[in-house]
Amino acid sequence: MKTMLLGLCWRVSALCLLLACAVVCQLATTIAPSPSTPDANCTSVNSSDCGACSPGTRSNNDTESCFCCPSGFCVNASDCILCASGFYQPQGGQLACLPCPHGLYTNTTGSVICQPCQPGYFTNDTASVSCTPCEKGHFASEQNASRCELCPKGTFCNTSLCTHCTTCPEGQEALEVGSVQCSLCSPGMYKGHGDGQCKDCLDGEYQVNWGGDHCDVCPVDHYCPSPDIGPIRCPEDAFCPAGTMEPSYCMETFLRKYGNNCRLAPLSILIIVVCAVVIFLVVIYIVRRQKQMSEMRRVLGSTPKSPLLHSIKSSSSAYGITNDTEPMYAGW
């Protein structure tokens, strides 16, 4: 009887030992993936072999199998953990989460994708949990902006979150990039529709106000010496047609202003008449003199020449003339 009890005790002890080993094995190991383990985007791994779970999977004690962490999770040594804010993981069974790239962000845990920064916002960091608003004078017109652009010349942005810059209105300009406001055109300058910046008024035009969008032509009977000076009344003895920069005067001695024209002064008329008479008389004199000279040459040309007068030989030497005196011409 004693021998039978001893054998039964040994059998019970062996059975307890086997049960304890089975429990320890289940707690320490799980079913290892089979050679046909799915790719990284797996959902579960089944096998009939006992072993450690492969990277990217974790054990499930209830099903005695390994399974992949879902999207938005990563695997540490013992469990699946949610991706932190600023990180994402679009695939399951991954060992690490990915940081959101430039222009993208996520402010929640377990993100599968990152959200794009909206127009007017940017982020130039990775793993961003939020986007930064564009400052004044800057803009971002597209999503996923990694930086904000400066407003170009001629435009401005006076608030944050600008998606585009506004063109300066007529009469105003922005000479620098990144302007937050426009400045008025100075007197003597203007900026009309479609102009990028203020321009100088043309000669004979004026603009005396700040922020002018056009220049005016200097009116008749006025002159405008500078584009930033208003019209000045023309002097009584001067001419000032439209667009005049300075008065025009007639010659004081010879001309006089009559209406909108210069006319000869009485003295000028007298001088002209006298000069004309003198010139006429000179011409008459020259003509008559030429006629007289021509008549004289004609008369001289038609008269015959006189013969030589020979001296008469005489025995007397009256008046001291000898017979050897040379002959002389008579006549003209």
pLDDT digit string, tens, across residues 17-64: 444 434 333 433 333 333 333 444 444 445 455 556 655 566 665 555
* Amino acid 254: pLDDT: 59
* Contact assessment for residue 30 and residue 60, using Cβ atoms and an 8 Å cutoff: yes
User: What HEC string does 156-167 produce?
Assistant: ECCCCCCCCCEE
Region of poorest pLDDT, from 222-226, 265-269, 287-291, 324-328: 324-328
Q: Which residues contact 86 (CB under 8 A, 6 or more apart)?
A: 99, 100, 105, 106, 107, 126, 127, 128, 129
**The most confident of 186-190, 235-239, 262-266, by mean pLDDT:** 186-190
Supply 236's token pair.
């009584």
Which residue type is seen at 144?
N
* Amino acid 5: pLDDT: 43
* Contact assessment for residue 143 and residue 118, using Cβ atoms and an 8 Å cutoff: yes
Is it the case that residue 277 has pLDDT exceeding 50? Answer: yes
% the chain with pLDDT above 70: 62
- Residue 318 per-residue DSSP state: G
Tens digit of each residue's pLDDT (9 = 90 or more) over 123-169: 999 999 999 999 999 999 999 999 999 999 999 999 999 999 999 99
Question: Which of the pair, 78 or 324, is modelled with greater confidence?
Answer: 78
CA-derived radius of gyration, the chain: 62
Which band of pLDDT confidence, cut at 50, 70 and 90, is reported for residue 291?
confident
In 3D, which of 64, 19, 24, 25 has the Cα closest to residue 44? 64
CA distance 104 to 116: 4
What is the average pLDDT across 305-315? 49
Which band of pLDDT confidence, cut at 50, 70 and 90, is reported for residue 243?
very high
- Residue 87 per-residue DSSP state: E
Is it the case that residue 263 has pLDDT exceeding 70? Answer: no
> The tokens 């002064």 sit on which residue?
265
In 3D, which of 42, 130, 54 has the Cα closest to residue 86? 130
Which band of pLDDT confidence, cut at 50, 70 and 90, is reported for residue 266?
low
In 3D, which of 55, 61, 30 has the Cα closest to residue 42? 55
* Amino acid 328: pLDDT: 55
What is the average pLDDT across 220-239? 93
In this structure, the dihedral spanned by the alpha carbons of residues 278, 284, 287 and 293, taken in order and rounded to 10 degrees, is -100
C-beta atoms surrounding 37 within 10 Å: 18
C-beta atoms surrounding 251 within 10 Å: 11
Q: What is the mean pLDDT of the chain?
A: 77
> The tokens 């000669």 sit on which residue?
203
Is it the case that residue 259 has pLDDT exceeding 90? Answer: no
Which residue type is seen at 95?
L
Is it the case that residue 322 has pLDDT exceeding 60? Answer: no
pTM: 0.56
C-beta atoms surrounding 24 within 10 Å: 10
Question: Which of the pair, 178 or 304, is modelled with greater confidence?
Answer: 178
Give me the domains of the chain, ranges plus CATH numbers. 29-68 (no CATH), 83-167 (2.10.50.10)
Region of poorest pLDDT, from 122-136, 208-222, 232-246: 232-246
CA distance 40 to 52: 17
